Structure 1
Amino acid sequence: MSAPDGSGGPSLSRRLGTFDAVVIGLGAMIGAGVFAAFGPAAAAAGAWLPAALAVAAVVAYCNATSSARLAARYPASGGTYVYGRERLGPFWGHLAGWSFVVGKSASCAAMALTVGAYLRPDHAHAVAVAAVLTLTAVNYVGVQKSALASRLVVAFVLLVLITVVVTGAGADRGAARDAVAPVGVAGVLQAAGLLFFAFAGYARIATLGEEVREPATTIPRAIPIALGVTVAVYLAVLLTLLHVLGAGGLAAATDPLARAVSAAGVPGLAPVVRAGAVAAAAGSLLALVLGVSRTTLAMARDGHLPKALAAVHPRFHVPHRAELAVGVVVAAVAAVVDLRSAIGFSSFGVLVYYAVANVSAWTLSAAEGRPPRLVPVTGVVGCLVLAATLPGASVLAGAAVVAAGGLSYVLRRR
C-alpha cells in the first residue's frame, strides 16, 4: 500500500479508534506543564486563574482542530512547517519551523527547570543542566521512550494529581488566597498565555491521520474529548491549589503541588508528588529534545538552517549534530533563566507557530476539509492576542528571535 503523500512508501496501519486517539492525546497533554505553569499564571491573574484556563483551552481547541484538518491534507512529518510552506509559501513555513524550534527549545529549558524545582529546589539550575545533558546523551545513542513507559508515566502522573486533589479537598483555605489582586482582562490574558504552556502536546492527535480508522470523523471527535478531560483535570488541580495555597502562595511557589500536600497536613505525600513531577518533566524533556532535533534536521536539509546540522550518525542513526546543538542551547538557557521566563518565551514561540497553522487552515477549501471559518479565525486572533499579552520580557525576546529567523530567511534568499 502506498503512502498517502504519494511517496510510494508503505503506509502506517489504521488500527486506532476514538478511544485510542483520546488516550494518546491525554498522554501528550497531561504531563509536566501542570506541575509548572500554575505558579507563574497565578502571579498574573490571581484568583481569576480558572477564567484564564478557559481562554487557553478555547485557543488550544481551535489550534488542534485547524492542525487536524491540515494534517489530513498533508500527512508528511513537519507539522506547521509543512502546512505554512504548502499553503502560504516558503517564508511562512520557515517562520513556523523557526518559531517551533526556538519555542520548544525554551520548553525544554522549562521542563529541565521543573525537574530541578521538584528534585532539588535549592540547586534547581544545576539539576536542570544535568538533566538536559543526561537526556541529550540518551537521545544521542538512539534510546527513546517506549509506548508502555509513556503510559506508565501518564498513569502515575494522573494518580499523583488525583492524590493532590483529594488531599487538598479537606484542607483549610489558604491564608494567602487574596494576596495577589487580579490585573483585569490583561492579567487574565497573560495568565492564559502562560497556561497555554500546560497544553503542550494537544495537537498530537492531529498527526494521527495515517494511523486511525476513519480519520475524518475519529480525529474531530477525539480532540474535544481529550481536551475536555484535560481541562477538567487541570481545573480540579487549579481549584485545589487556590484553596490550599491561595493565589499568593501559588504565585510564589516553583513546586506548588508538593507544597500543597504539605500545607494540607500530609507532608509524607510530598516525595511522591515530587517523584511524579520529575518523572513527567523528564519524560517531556526527552520527547521535546527528540522533536526539536528532528525539526532542526528537516530545516537543515531544506537549507533553512546550517547544512551541517543535517548529519545523521552512521552507527546510532540519529541526527547527532542537531541533537548536540539543541542540547547545548537548552542547557545554556536552563542555566541562566527562571521558570517563568522560560515558560513565557516558550509560549510566545509556540503561539506564533499555531497562528501560522490557523491562517493555513483558513486557506483550505470546503473540498479540502476546511474547518468552520470561526475556528481558524478564533485561533489566529487568540494566538496573537495571547502572545502580545505575555510578560513584557518574553514578548520582546520572542519577537526579536522570531524576527531574526525571518531576517535570516530573507538574507539567505538574497
Structure 2
Amino acid sequence: MSKVLVIGSGAREHALAQTFLKSPQVDEVLVAPGNDGMQETGLTRLPIDANDIVSLVQAAKDQQVDLTFVGNEDPLILGVVDRFEEAGLKIFGPNAVAAQLEGSKTFAKEILTANEIPTAKAVTVNSRQEAKDAILEFDWPMVFKLDGLALGKGVTIIKDQSSADEYLQSLYQKDPTAKLVIEEFLNGVEFSIFSLVGKDGQVVHAPMAQDHKRRYDHDRGPNTGGMGAYSPLSWLRDSDAVQTVDELVDPMLAAMADRGTPFTGVLYTGVMLTAAGPKVIEFNVRFGDPEAQVVLPQLESDFYQMILDLLAGKRPEANWQTDDVYLGVVLAAPGYPQAPEKGGQVPSAADLSPLTVNYAGAKATDEGLVANGGRVATVIAHAQDTQAAQAAVYDVLDKTYGDLVYRHDIGHWAVDLGKE
C-alpha cells in the first residue's frame, strides 16, 4: 500500500486528500499542514508550514512517502518541486521556472504574445508615471493586475480616470516601483480548464468549471479567492471547448517546451469566452479553489495511478462522469475578504449531510469547529442539472445554523443562459 503527501491547508487540499484516499492503492494521506476540519480515516496532518520546504523534504523521507502532490502556489514558486526532485522524491507539480506562469503575469503575457495565443492586450509598468502614460493606450474600462501572487484578490476593474488615479496613488505610495500589468477589458463569460500535464507530453484535461470570484450575489463586490463553483458546463459548446484546448492550452504547453522550460503539473487556464472566441485571462500552476472541490469528485478512475502514469510519461486512464452537475458554495467568515472575523461557529459534516464538505479555515475548540480564516469551507452537492444542485445545496445551507456568510446564486450563469 502507498502513502501520499498533499501540501497545503485549504478546502482544495481536503478535496485532493479525499480523492487520493479513494484509490485502492493508497492507505494513508498526509496533509501538511492541513486544518482541523480534515478528520477522515486514513488522513493524517503534519504540523509543517507549506512553505517550509526543508522540513517537507525531510518529512517525506522520514514518512517514506511514495508521492507528493502540491496543492497551493506559494511552495511551487519557491521551488518545492526542484528540492524534492534533487532529493530523489516523487512529486507532481511544475519546477520554479515553469511556476512563473503564475508567479509573474508579465512572464505569462510575454509567452502568450510571442506565440500569438489569444489574450487581452496588456502592458507592464514599474512606476506611477509609466502607468499614467500607459492607460492612454486603453479604453475604459480596463483591468489592473498586480504582477505577483495576490491570493485571487490582485485584479481590479478600473472604470474611469478617477478610479485609476485613486488606485495608482494608493499603490505607488506603498511601493514606488510596484510592477503592475494594465490590460484590456474583455467582455464575455469566464470559465476554467485544468490540464494535468505529465512527462513526454502526456496530458489529461479535466471537466471545465466556472468560478464565482465576486463576494456578493449578482457578481457584485470585491474579488475574492472564490465564493463557489460548478462543473461541468452545460452551456459551453463542444466547439468552444475544443478551440480552448487547441488554441490556448496546447500552444502554451508547446511554447514552454520549446523555450526549454517544459511544464509538468496542473495547468489552470482561466478563459474568457468572447464574441471573437476564447481568450486567455490568466494561467495558474495548480488546481483552483473552489473549482477543485467540484471537479475532482467527477473522476471515476484511480487518481493516484493517473498521477504516477503522468510522471512516468505513460498514457493514463482518466474517466470522468458526464451525467451530473457538481456545485460548491463557499462558506466564509463575516467581513471576508477585507477583514474576516474569526470565531464564528462552523457547521460539522453531520450538520451538512447529505452534502459533502471540504474544510479550509476551520479550528477545533471545545464547542466544535470555529472560523479561523476567510474562506472556511466549501459545501458540495451533485444532481442531474445545475438547478437541482442549487436546490440541494441551498436547502441545507439555508436551514443550517451558523455565523458564516455565502452567496445564494452559485451556478447562475448556467440558468441565466437558458440552457437548463
Specify which structure has the higher proportion of strand.
2
TM-score by length of 1: 0.26
Q: Which has the higher contact order (CA 8 A, sep 6+)?
A: 1
Specify which structure has the higher proportion of helix.
1
